[in-house]
A and B are shown apart, each in its own frame.
Chain A
Amino acid sequence: MEKELFEQLEDILELAPGTVTLTAAFRDYENWDSMANLSVIAMLDDSFGVHIASQDFKNLITVGDLVAEIAKRTA
């Protein structure tokens, strides 16, 4: 799941493969904007079946937080 998430984030943010790390704050990546924000929320729903409200999404900071949220909601 981690590998797919990393690839999806790199795809949305147009980052070189291997750029994304677990500890990074994903909003600090270059190219982060409101479109990326919407796209990541939609991607979590589309690829992982995780539907998350904007209000809750703002509490997730690092890529690791995304991994944990997916794991929690798909357990």
Chain B
Amino acid sequence: MDPLFGLEHKNILVTGASSGIGRAVAEMLANQGATVMITARNEERLEAVLQSLPNDGHHFFCADLTMDEEVKKLAAEMPLLDGIVLNAGMVKTVPVQFVKREDLDYMFNLMLHSSILLVQQLLKNKKLKPGASVCFISSVASQKITIGNAIYSAAKGALNSFTKSLALELAPKQIRVNAILPGMVQTAILDSGAVSDEQLQIHLKNYPLGRFGQPQDIAGLTVYLMADVSQWMTGSLIVLDGGYTLK
């Protein structure tokens, strides 16, 4: 294989790695030869993910990234990194009229503040190598609006703007920063009953390729973004949605 496409000898940090997209990303990066550092809150599930990874050398770090002290500790413990995939997220569907400040604070904290502050700490600790790649998992919800998701969309929109700002600031160090904007992805968040089966079936009609995304669909693009083959790509917001935004 052309080494431009491989991830051998690369250390990559994946947040939100205990389930869903984060887990699939960790597994696929490891399958392509990367050494992955995985983090999330749930130790038991992290350990299970670690066990499922091919090859040795991977590590897990239990951390709640909404807590400043844990972010600092995580950044300090990291080895020199060739890449990061930031993927902590949640969904709470509620009309604006019923949004509580605590929900607003928590969602922005988890989806935006924690990622910004983690990158900042990694930079302060000089843990990102020149040529490193940073990838945020954003959402098409930042561009295509559905009712009840105003706060989620706003947080992801802010994340998109941050992606571009950070890309410009880090370009002199040859550190690249991009975001993936997935459409609906089949994860445990959907299986929780928060959205009814009927609602999902109706929503599915908006997907020209006839299915929602699988976590692996997103993970595949992170392989490209982490590999040297994408070394000229920075500040890009890449829609990956089975054609959802075509309609």
Structural contact, A54 and B147, CB atoms closer than 8 A: no
Chain B residues near A53 (CB-CB < 8 A):
192-194
Instruction: Indicate if A48 sits at the interface (CB-CB under 8 A).
Output: no
Q: Mark B84-102, 1 if CB is under 8 A from A, else 0.
A: 0000000001110110100
A55 to B199, CA, bound (A): 9
Residue of B nearest to A55 (CB): B193
Chain B residues near A1 (CB-CB < 8 A):
none
Structural contact, A39 and B196, CB atoms closer than 8 A: no
Residue of B nearest to A39 (CB): B95
Structural contact, A35 and B95, CB atoms closer than 8 A: yes
Q: Mark A56-74, 1 if CB is under 8 A from B, else 0.
A: 1110000000000000000
A54 to B199, CA, bound (A): 9
Instruction: Indicate if B198 sits at the interface (CB-CB under 8 A).
Output: yes
Structural contact, B94 and A54, CB atoms closer than 8 A: no
Instruction: Indicate if B195 sits at the interface (CB-CB under 8 A).
Output: yes
Structural contact, B148 and A55, CB atoms closer than 8 A: no
Chain B residues near A39 (CB-CB < 8 A):
95, 97-98
A54 to B147, CA, bound (A): 14
From residue 134 to 156 of chain B, which have CB atoms closer than 8 A to chain A?
147-148
A53 to B194, CA, bound (A): 5
Instruction: Indicate if A34 sits at the interface (CB-CB under 8 A).
Output: yes
Contacts from A to B (Cβ < 8 Å): 34-35, 38-39, 42-43, 45-46, 53-58
4 further A-B pairs in the complex, CB-CB below 8 A; given A46-B100, A54-B93: A38-B95, A38-B148, A54-B193, A54-B194
16 A–B contacts from the bound complex (CB under 8 Å): A34-B147, A38-B93, A38-B94, A38-B148, A39-B97, A42-B94, A42-B97, A46-B98, A53-B193, A54-B196, A54-B199, A55-B194, A55-B196, A55-B197, A57-B196, A58-B196
